[in-house]
A and B are shown apart, each in its own frame.
Chain A
């Protein structure tokens, strides 16, 4: 149903590596979001964007950074991954209705 895509679906990497999680949507939505979710737990907003060149930190502090150079693309970057970054990362977008559309998520494991 949703036209929002995340890659990769799974990522296992070593400590200290730089990683970028990709998120793209084809719905023309201005608003995009990144959430972090540990297994069986609630979602925590870590970054959001209301349009091109607009990014804000969310409610949960995160060492990751984001960029929004194009409407459809909202990548998340970790400069130096650590085991504490192991989690699932979910990307979402929303339009005028306020309903959010989610990607399938990236499950990150840092060894």
Chain B
């Protein structure tokens, strides 16, 4: 069964607005990671949050993790047209020794 489920599946906003994507998972984890994928390309790592962390920031990105609800959110502030991409959460489940299970992704479109 799928470990990560993301919501919404697609999001369209204007430049300058904030974008929030959510991810839910099913098992206990070592860490949760967010990746970005531009159309037809490989994935680029954005941020990793460990199971004992609740919030992490990197530039315009803010990630939260709630292990009691088995959920995470990615917030992109002051979005730009260049942020248009697909965003995936991935979980490193406890005992999986590095294997990641990816969610189905959120497609973000930022209109200039």
Contacts and interface: CB of A to CB of B under 8 A. Distances in A.
Interface of A: 1-2, 6, 31, 33, 35, 40-43, 45, 48, 50, 58-59, 88, 90, 92, 94, 97-105, 107
Contact of A101 (B45, B88, B98): B45
Given A42-B88, A45-B99, A99 B48 contact: yes
Residue with the greatest number of chain B CB neighbours at <10 A, chosen from A35, A42, A99: A42
B41 A98 contact: no
Interface of B: 2, 30-31, 33, 35, 40-45, 48, 86, 88, 90, 92, 97-105, 107
Interface SS of chain B: strand
B40 A31 contact: no
A66 B101 CA distance: 20
B13 to A, nearest CB: 19
8 contacts: A2-B42, A6-B42, A92-B42, A94-B98, A100-B90, A102-B43, A102-B44, A107-B40
A105 B103 contact: no
Contact of B42 (A42, A97, A99, A102): A102
B104 A41 contact: yes
B63 to A, nearest CB: 14
Q: Which of A94, A99, A105, A107 has the most CB of B within 10 A?
A: A99
B42 to A, nearest CB: 4
Given A97-B48, A98-B30, A99-B33, A42 B43 contact: no
B92 to A, nearest CB: 6
Given A31-B98, A98-B92, A103 B42 contact: yes
Given A33-B99, A41-B105, 14 more contacts: A1-B44, A40-B86, A42-B105, A43-B43, A43-B88, A99-B33, A99-B48, A100-B33, A100-B90, A100-B100, A103-B42, A104-B41, A104-B42, A105-B40
